[in-house]
Amino acid sequence: MGAPTNYFVDHFSGFDDLFMADGSSDTDAWATVAFALENITHDASNGTQILIKGNGTLTDGQGESVAIDPTTMSSGYSTIGAGAPLIFRGYTSQDPVTEVVTYGEAKLWGEFTQMFTTTYHPIVADNYNVGTGEVGAKESNHVIFYDLHFRGTGSVNPHVSLNSSNHFINCRFSGGSQGDCIRLTDDCSFIGCHFSNMGSTSSSGNHLIDCSGPGHTILNCVFDFLTGNAPYACIKTAGTKTNWIIGNVFMLGDGCSAVKWSGGYTSGSSPNCMWFVGNSLFSDSDPRVDTFRASQNAAKRIVYMDNLVEGFAVGIDLKSSHNVLAWGGNSAFNNTTDFDTVADIWYEFSGGNFSVADADNNKSLSQSPFLDAASKKMSCRPARTSGGDEAVVGQCVSLNNHASTLVKRGDRGAVPRGPLTPPVEGGIVR
């Protein structure tokens, strides 16, 4: 796979006219993504990238949704695949001489206002009726999104409804009070994304990322739900493959949990597995909720390592149906129950930089590990246990009970560490 073929869309300065523009550059951009999808020929060797220009003056109702329907599109869309994906990416400018593209955030909207009427619809979906917003079958695969802001205000339609192997990198999602905001099937990923002010806690069936199948990756994302609308659970997933939830920041308000494992668990030749590693979780929910929803639905095998948890009913939530492959390096503060140990724990890391007498390095703290999480200042302080041991910064662990030296494995949680006395305004997550 080489560089994808580029086409340009500028909602303000483009022309949906093949005589006025060919979509090949910023100065020859089309006006809408819909026109681009109708007129491009997909590059079956390297993929096709539609660049959407970010306009600072674009407001609610001035953008457009993206309707992807490979079953009806012409021009080679049946050849979209892992080696030739369909890519949507935000950009701010293109140099007219060198043709170098400067990438930056562009907005896609879930509503369109014409005269005095506003029509609400999914922002990205396939097989739906634009007039009613009715979502049909999820069929699109191998679609990638970079540097885009998915923005909606409706209460019915999802932001995204696609099938498998779709990926979102450095994107923002906000607005709306839908039940399920992002509907996907399996093998999808979110990397470096930000979620805020969307969803609804009114029902146990309401989820931010609703993955009906297995094999997902949620990496280095921020779930910013201390204020505004929030989902019942940020991530719902199930299936038989491995799911990775690593390096994320969860800031959760009333009634909002981090994860819901749905559909029970499987065993046999391909048991499901979840890696929950290096996450920072803070909740100010009243009443308190668990980090994981559903009392018995859980991954058959789970790995809990290096997480920071504060303010939940149960911090590190080991359901009775878990088989914990391994856990260690977790710190908890101000949870009703810091560590729920009802599960079958197969391997528990020992040692760390605590006293030799300690059997494990999962620690309940005597002070918050966060500088001021309630104000979104998520820098970590060197929180200590009641015994005075440092439990956040410079953590070590022995990977083998018989190891003669401690092996460095990194710090706990997802937020970058500052000095031992963090600056007052340091580490603000926006």
What is the pLDDT, as a whole number, of residue 398? 43
Confidence of residue 353 (pLDDT cuts 50, 70, 90): very low
Contact between 312 and 290 under an 8 Å Cβ cutoff? The reply is yes
Q: How does residue 168 score in pLDDT terms, banded at 50, 70 and 90?
A: very high
The answer to whether residue 394 scores a pLDDT higher than 60 is no
Question: How far is Cα 140 from Cα 8, in angstroms, rounded to an integer?
Answer: 21
Q: What is the pLDDT of residue 246?
A: 93
> Residue 256: how many CB atoms within 10 A of its CB?
26
- Residues 304-332: pLDDT tens digits? 888 889 999 998 877 666 677 888 878 88
Percent of the chain residues topping a pLDDT of 90? 25
Local structure of 325: helix, strand or coil: strand
Mean pLDDT of 334-357: 68
Residue 205: band (very low, low, confident or very high) from pLDDT cuts 50, 70, 90: confident
Contact 300, 362 (CB under 8 A): no
For residue 90, pLDDT beyond 80: yes
> In this predicted structure, what is the pLDDT of residue 323?
72
d(CA 336, CA 288): 8
Between 74-78, 146-150, 222-226, 356-360, the lowest mean confidence (pLDDT) is in 356-360
pLDDT of residue 94: 87
Q: Where are the beta strands (DSSP E) in 54-199?
A: 66-67, 86-94, 101-103, 106-109, 111-114, 117-120, 124-125, 128-129, 134-135, 143-146, 148-151, 160-161, 167-169, 172-174, 180-184, 189-191, 194-196
* Mean pLDDT (whole number) for 392-401: 44
Question: Mean pLDDT lowest for which of 17-31, 63-77, 230-244, 328-342?
Answer: 63-77
- What is the structure's pLDDT at 257? 94
The strand pairing partners of 119, in sequence order, are: 112
Tens digit of pLDDT for each residue in 279-304? 989 999 999 999 887 645 556 678 88
Using CA atoms, how far residue 69 sits from 134, 137, 169, 182, in Å, is: 14, 10, 22, 17
pLDDT at position 6 over 60:
yes
The yes-or-no verdict on residue 201 having pLDDT over 80 is: yes
Q: What pLDDT was estimated at residue 159?
A: 85
Taking residues 83-101, what's their average pLDDT? 90
pLDDT at 232: 94
Tell me if 63 sits within 8 A of 107, measured CB to CB. yes
> What is the C-alpha separation between 279 and 274, in angstroms, rounded?
13
Mean pLDDT of 180-200: 91
For residue 337, CA distances in Å to 290, 295, 312, 316, 317 come to 10, 15, 8, 8, 9
Helix (H, G, I), strand (E, B) or coil at 79: helix
Distance of alpha carbon 313 from alpha carbon 258, whole angstroms:
12
Q: Which of 204, 167, 201 lies closest to 182, judged by CA? A: 167
Q: Which DSSP string do the residues of 126-167 spell out, in sequence order?
A: SSEETTTTEE------SEEEESEEEE---SSS-SEE--SS-E
pLDDT, one tens digit per residue, over 127-141 is: 654 444 455 567 788
pLDDT of 95 > 80? The answer is yes
Averaged confidence pLDDT in the chain: 77
How far is residue 236 from each of residues 22, 169, 206, measured CA to CA in Å?
Answer: 42, 19, 9
pLDDT score for 133: 46
Which range has the worst mean pLDDT, 201-205, 276-280, 376-380?
376-380
Q: Does the pLDDT value for residue 405 go beyond 50?
A: no
Query: What is the rounded radius of gyration, in angstroms, for the C-alpha atoms of the chain?
Result: 23
**Section 148-154 average pLDDT:** 84
pTM: 0.87
- Give tens-digit pLDDT for 13-69: 888 889 999 988 999 999 888 888 888 888 888 999 999 988 765 565 555 667 666
Q: Looking at residue 161, what is its pLDDT? A: 86
Residue 173 pLDDT greater than 80, yes or no: yes
Closest CA to 75 of 25, 12, 7: 7
Q: What is the pLDDT of residue 209?
A: 93
Q: What pLDDT does 213 receive?
A: 78
pLDDT above 70: residue 414: yes
CA distance from start to end of the chain? 36
Helix (H) or strand (E) holding 37: helix 33-39
For position 396, what pLDDT does the model report? 41
